[in-house]
Structure 1
């Protein structure tokens, strides 16, 4: 059960059927370009492949902020329904934890939809703790609008 980093278009595209389980709003023809776009901000896609094809996928990025210091953030973690409870998710999570340590991260984070109770039990079983609630408000972008006041200039 080896973990591979999806680099080529073929590898990234092969991850789509698994990612569709978690992100059904992303059309197949948009998937590759969206992954490539996110890679510019540090996103990486890793996967586990069996002879039948890709069975588990994780998307992640390394970042740094005031609240957490240096961290690895798991954007996506999903296993095909027919392959769950076979250790694939645990293997990906362990790999990500090792990657976080190699990258000098102090923490590893992820958000999970409140309806995903089975996933929550999995994360807790794997040693993660629920640490916060995530709030969201959808905003319709208006490219014509500009900030009302400019950001302050940096001195020095």
Structure 2
């Protein structure tokens, strides 16, 4: 079973760019990813990854939160696997890992959002026993 490693150095974060870029194509390069991750770390964000042949092939970005509705939880910002290695179980490894982390910390919930257009991802989340429990609303401000 692959091991999840937390990206703590700029080089590790930058190496995750090809994976994250498949999910977040608006990011222009590895330097931008490093800058954004470093800023988000100030809010508790962490980036984990698994490797195949010495390179990241799946990544999970997450943060610990507490909400009135659920109490302490882990929120998954990003879960991405390279298209070339999809269906090898890396996504499940990442979710299993973050769920074990949440349980070890006494958290009862792992929460995530998935774009409405990402139907393949939705099927995956259903297989992982995630439920649709709310609508997520967004308003872009001018």
Q: TM-score range by the shorter chain?
A: over 0.9
- Measured after TM superposition, the shift of residue 93 of structure 1 is 0.5
Unpaired stretches in structure 2, ≥5 consecutive residues: none
TM-score by length of 2: 0.95
Residues 1:16 and 2:32 are matched in the alignment: no
Residues 1:80 and 2:95 are matched in the alignment: no
- Measured after TM superposition, the shift of residue 50 of structure 1 is 1.1
Number of residue-to-residue matches in the alignment = 140
- Measured after TM superposition, the shift of residue 52 of structure 1 is 5.2
Output the CA distance in 2 between the equivalents of 1:92 and 1:134: 23
Equivalent residue of 2:62, what SS?
Answer: strand
Aligned to 1:35: 37
Residue 113 of structure 1: which of 109, 112, 115 is its match? 115
Residue 52 of structure 2: which of 50, 53, 69 is its match? 50
Could you list the runs of 4 or more consecutive aligned residues of structure 1 that deviate by over 4 angstroms after TM superposition? none
Output the CA distance in 2 between the equivalents of 1:52 and 1:2: 12
Output the CA distance in 1 between the equivalents of 2:41 and 2:64: 11
Which runs of structure 2 are paired with 1:132-143 in the superposition (5 Å)?
A: 132-140=134-142
TM-score by length of 1: 0.87
- Measured after TM superposition, the shift of residue 103 of structure 1 is 2.0
Over alpha carbons, which structure has the higher Rg?
1
Equivalent residue of 1:58, what SS?
Answer: strand
Output the CA distance in 2 between the equivalents of 1:81 and 1:63: 30
Output the CA distance in 2 between the equivalents of 1:97 and 1:52: 25
